[in-house]
Amino acid sequence: MKKILSLKELSERNTGLTSGHRACSGCAFPSIIKMVVASSDYPVVISNATGCLEVVSTIYPYSAWNVPWIHVAFENAAAVISGVESAYKVLKKKGLIPENEKINFIVIGGDGGTYDIGLQALSGAIERGHNFLYVLYDNQAYMNTGVQRSSATPFGANTTTSPVGKKMPGKIQHRKDIIEIIAAHEIPYVAQASPSHFGDLIKKVRRAFEIEGPKFIAVISPCVPGWGYNESETVELARLAVETCFWPLYEIDQGVYRVNYKPKEKLPVKEWLLKQDRFSHLKNREDLIEEIQKKVDEKWERLLRLDGQKIF
């Protein structure tokens, strides 16, 4: 295991994303990306799916990236990195890239570009075994196009395509479980992390970079306009998602489940939900909150059962 970096050491490293990006104030992903890039001991090359991050960081003729970065389209970020990584491999083999040069290839995608439209390309790239780390920033909706539901949007959330109406209480389906889908590909490393627990996040990224082959980390990314909360509370919302076990911190390392963090006192999910405008209509819907709580409990108990077990 590589040395754990102190915050001071991290702060002295290149974070990839510089100042001047135009993310909303309070947006979580700039911090997430910076922690990911700074965690790498080697230069990185990034492929980014279409979405908020791509849009706010590269408004021509400016770019907020000081590392090589490519965006092609919405659904193909994983396929693009397959190409970049293959070029790297073959050019190295042909002596056009120095033998000792090492690059960490990173893909960054939002939930739409990962759970939905990009799932096929991601699944294909993983199955072929390309060497890259996929970082999903999960803000739980298509934020760039104005908060439409994605298959990562939680049950009950009010979005512009799962609006609260006379008959519908927001989104009527539960979230797709992306971690389990990716884990079913039997890849060496899959994890879920949160910017609120940054030590854990950095450790996971550094662990992922140690491994050859495809790796996947899902990071919860609170979104001020999409979720509806005060911009100073981003980290608090990420923390509450973890403390309520809505977003447990866990990993599947070489097939072994490990819950990385067990809250001392598991908070009711209501505490996380009712801090956000997108769930405000649930205030008088104890029945729906109960349904959400039930799902959270089931998943958490399942995780605790799996903790320490080898699944492949």
Partner 1 sequence: MKTETKKIVAKTGNEAAAYAMKQINPDVVAAYPITPSTEIIQIFSKYVADGEVDTEFIPVESEHSAISVCIGASTGGARVMTATSSQGLALMHEILYIASSFRLPIVMIVGNRALSGPINIHCDHSDTMGSRDSGWIQIYCENANEVYHTIINAVKISEKVNLPCMVMMDGFIVTHGMENVLILEDEEVREFLGKREPLYSILDLKNPITVGPLALYDYYMEHKRSQVDAILKSKKIISDVFEEYNRKFGLSIPSFIEEYFLDDAEIAVIAMSSASGTLKEAVDLLREKGERVGILRLKITRPFPYEILRKKLENLKVVGVMDRAETFSTMGGPVSIEVKAALYSLIKRPLIQSFVFGLGGREFSLEDAIKVFDILKKINKENKLEEEFIYIGLRE
Considering only residues 99 through 128, tell me which ones interact with ligand TPP, judged by CB under 6 A: 110-113
Nearest distance, CB of residue 140 and ligand TPP, angstroms:
8
Q: How many whole angstroms separate alpha carbon 18 and alpha carbon 113?
A: 23
Partner from ligand TPP, partner 1, none contacting 124, C-beta within 5 to 8 A by type: partner 1
Q: How many whole angstroms separate alpha carbon 75 and alpha carbon 29?
A: 19
257 is an interface residue for ligand TPP by CB under 6 A: no
247 is an interface residue for ligand TPP by CB under 6 A: no
Partner from partner 1, ligand TPP, none contacting 39, C-beta within 5 to 8 A by type: none
Token digits for 166? 């006379």
75 is an interface residue for partner 1 by CB under 8 A: yes
Looking at the Cβ atoms of 119 and 289, the one nearer to ligand TPP is 119
How big is the CA angle at 215 (ends 310 and 292), to the nearest 5 degrees?
A: 70
Nearest distance, CB of residue 279 and ligand TPP, angstroms:
18
24 is an interface residue for partner 1 by CB under 8 A: no
Please give, one letter per residue, the 3-state secondary structure of 215-270. Answer: EEEEEECCCHHHHHCCHHHHHHHHHHHHHCCCCCCEEEECCEEEECCCCCCCCCCH
38 is an interface residue for partner 1 by CB under 8 A: no
145 is an interface residue for ligand TPP by CB under 6 A: yes
Looking at the Cβ atoms of 65 and 261, the one nearer to partner 1 is 65
139 is an interface residue for ligand TPP by CB under 6 A: yes
Evaluated on CA atoms 155, 136, 208, 236, the torsion sign reads negative
In degrees and rounded to multiples of 5, residue 213 shows phi and psi of 115, -175
Cα 285 to Cα 149, 167, 282, 295, 298, distances in angstroms: 20, 13, 5, 16, 20
148 is an interface residue for partner 1 by CB under 8 A: no
Contact positions vs ligand TPP (CB under 6 A)? 50-53, 74, 110-113, 139, 142-145, 150
